[in-house]
Amino acid sequence: MSEMMVLLLSAASLGLIHTLLGPDHYLPFIVLSKARKWTRTRTLWITFISGVGHVLGSVALGMIGIAMGLSLSKLEAFEASRGSLVGWMLIAFGVLYTAYGVFKYMKRGAHVHLPSFLRPKSIKHTHLHLDVKEIEEDQAGKLTPWILFLIFVFGPCEVLIPMLIYPAANQSGMGVFLVALVFGIATIGTMMLVVFLGYQGLSLLRFKGREHQLHLFAGFVILLAGAGMQFMGL
């Protein structure tokens, strides 16, 4: 077996493993799809685009570093710093979305059972049966996919850059392309598969009467994913 074939198999294996071991690669998409009531197609598209940004960010960094003649240790140190940054970004996003979930809970859940004269003006409806389909998409819903995409663009693929060094050192442009392509397919494919399974699993659960609590749940899960990445190296 040629060295390039071994490298490509390693790229595929590491793309699969590093994605499965990083819950931040799929949990945010799964819980937000339920909270924001995304369709399966929209959820998978958002996952795909974020995954492409995730891989291309590290490929671009690796190519720039190689072109500038930076050592592997410097590139890995920079990737580690990006990992720390993204961990804090996820934590911040989780905190903000949890706060948003508390707001939605108070607005749609906690006050809705109060007498009409005690309810805030914003939710004084003539009828109290709030169908989730009647709740219009708010500004937060429009921003959420872009926030996820931005976080994933900054997110590092620590295992990719060392694999790019070998074919680059041998001046094999095609080798660099193939390694990046195989790693990207494995990473993005695994992300989409796990998100699909998670989406299907959540679709079997019924949250009737508790829809207003899903944002709070999603924010807490994202916060845990960020904390796991930042403090546990997941």
**Is the pTM higher than 0.85?**
no
pLDDT digits (tens, 9 = 90+) for 20-34: 998 999 999 999 998
- Axis crossing angle, helix 72-105 with helix 40-67, rounded to the nearest 10: 150
44: Cβ–Cβ under 8 A, 6 or more apart, which residues? 192, 195, 196, 199
pLDDT digits (tens, 9 = 90+) for 92-124: 999 999 988 888 777 765 544 444 444 455 544
**Residue 149 pLDDT class (50, 70, 90 cuts):** very high
Encoded amino acid at 186, one letter: A
Contact 156, 84 (CB under 8 A): no
155: Cβ–Cβ under 8 A, 6 or more apart, which residues? 24, 54, 57, 82, 83, 86
pLDDT digits (tens, 9 = 90+) for 48-84: 999 999 999 888 888 888 788 777 788 878 888 888 8
215: Cβ–Cβ under 8 A, 6 or more apart, which residues? 35, 97, 100, 101, 104, 105
pLDDT digits (tens, 9 = 90+) for 158-167: 788 888 877 7
How many angstroms separate the CA atoms of 181 and 184, rounded? 5
Secondary structure of 44-97 as H, E, C letters:
HHHHHHHHHHHHHHHHHHHHHHHHCCCCHHHHHHHHHHHHHHHHHHHHHHHHHH
